[in-house]
Structure formats: C-alpha cells, structure tokens
Amino acid sequence: MKIYKSIDGVILENGNEFRLHKLETSWNDFINRDDLFDFLSVEWNNSEILPNEPDQSRLLAPIGSQEIWAAGVTYHSSRLARMEESKDAGGGDFYSRVYAAARPEIFFKATPARTVGPGKDFRIRKDSTWDVPEPELTLFATSNGKIVGYTVGNDVSSRSIEGENPLYLPQAKTYDACACLGPCIYVPKDPLAKRTSISMTIERESQLVFSEETKLEQMKRTPEELISYLFLETSFPGGVFLMTGTGIVPGNDFTLKSKDKVSIKIESIGTLTNFVA
C-alpha cells in the first residue's frame, strides 16, 4: 500500500488502483501508527475510488510536523568519497573510523519547512562550489520507534563546505530547501528486501549527465540499527523520517547547476523528481 499526501487529500494506492481517503485527523496522527499497514487495509474499503492516478503536480511532501534526520557513511562508496573530499583538511580519518565504529553517524537534516515535495525546486548554497544530490532510502518510524513505511529522499549536500572542515557539516546539510521527500510513503506488510535497487539520473538541458544504481544490500548498517541509535535519547511525538545514507556519489568533477533535473527511483516505492532552483 502507498500513501500520497496531496492538495486534494490523502490518496491510497494498492496495485494499480487509487482511492481518495477522507482525512478525519491530522497527517501526523494518520501515519503515526504501529499498525499502519493493517489500518490502511481497513481504510481502503472506506475510500472513494478514483478513475485516474493522482496528478503529480498536486502531490506534497509526505510529511507533517516530523523532523528529518540522516545517517552518513553507511555505504563503502560514501566512505571513500568523504575521505577524498576532506583529506586536505585532515578529516579523512574521521569518516574511515565512523564507517567501522559501532555507533553510526546520525545528524539532523531538515524541518518540514525546509523540505520540498515531488516536482518542486531544491536549492544549492550560494557559498558552495561543489554540490551533489544524495539518493537515500528514507525510513518512517512511529513515535515508538517502529519502522512502518519507506519513502525516497534526497539529502542535498555541499561537499565543498563539508570537505573544508567536518565541523561545517550542519551548514553543508541544513538550509532552506535542502531536502526532497516523496512521492509517497510505501507501507508494506514485510520489511523492504535487501535486494531492492536505488538509481539516480541527472539531466542537464535535456541531456543525461549522470546515471548510476546500487542496492540496499550494499548498506553496511540495517535500518533497524540506525533507528535504534536515533531513538536512544531522543523522542519524536509524531514519528520521524530518517535518511539512511547514499551509495551513489557523483565523481569529483561533477557539481549540480541551476535547472538540473534529478530523478531518484527506489524499487517498490517510486520515483522522486526535483529540479535545482
């Protein structure tokens, strides 16, 4: 089952069929349920059948008041990229150590106000010279720490700023329109399979300039492990979104430019497309 948040209300998808659900509570309360899959299965029968799939231009980021957090250096390719970008600042060893450490790197990413949904523009910092999208499986966990859904996330990153000094990470990661989320929340009965593929393409002036794919099985840490560390000493009354790190890193000679089209596809969930402002 998939849940879309739209201007027209909550849209449910089951297979190739779509239904409009009359939301009688807040989005937070609607999704913050440990039994979300079972709840949606019941609500499906109480929803209005739609003749067509939802208008993509009317979709919103599937977030209410929740925070977005992110995990870093969870793939070997990300470890190598972070070591390379920060070697001149002497920070490369930090990334190598955190990749092997018991405790993962987890940091705050964005508020809902700094998050954009499907088809919307995201920003790259004006004081940065090297910027990349980071395609990431994003977990939705309830206030009890139970993973009940998945979505597609783009953890936009200013590599020139983070590479200058690891202490600049908050500035490299968190600013206006720094995160993309959507197009839906995928709520399966069973956890997402490790063989699930993640791919990203970047188009510039209608020309493909980057394309790559990876699989969740390349991720060193499990979603449950990351969520358990996030919840150790932090509570989330409405649930929380957690980006799980990227296994796709464009080369050192690539940086985003205005009007670039970034499309991130995660098998079973869908495709999130956004544009650089």
Considering just the CA atoms, what is the radius of gyration of the chain in Å?
Answer: 18
Q: What angle, 0 to 180 degrees and rounded to 10, lies between the N-to-C axes of helices 92-100 and 76-85?
A: 160
For the chain (277 residues), the mean pLDDT of every run of 10, in chain order, is: 96 95 91 98 94 94 98 75 57 73 94 98 97 98 98 97 91 98 98 96 98 94 97 98 95 96 98 98
Structure tokens at 117: 């949904």
pTM of the model: 0.94
Name the pairing type of β-strands 115-116 and 179-186.
parallel
Domain residue extents for the chain: 2-58, 68-276
Q: Which CATH superfamily is domain 68-276 in?
A: Fumarylacetoacetase-like, C-terminal domain (3.90.850.10)
Instruction: List the one residue out of 240, 234, 239, 199 whose CA is nearest residue 216.
Output: 199
pLDDT computed for residue 90 by the predictor: 59
> According to DSSP H, which parts of the chain are helical?
27-31, 36-44, 76-85, 92-100, 159-164, 169-173, 223-230
- Measure the CA–CA gap between 23 and 15, rounded to whole angstroms: 21
pLDDT, tens digit, for every residue of 234-251?
999 999 999 999 999 899
What are the tokens at 43? 């609500």
Instruction: List the beta bridge partners of residue 194.
Output: none
CA–chain centroid gap for 216, Å, is: 14
Amino acid at 217: E
Which amino acid would we find at residue 191?
P
- 214's tokens: 């990876």
Q: DSSP characters for 107-149?
A: EEEE-GGGEE-TT-EE---TT-S-EE--EEEEEEE-TTS-EEE
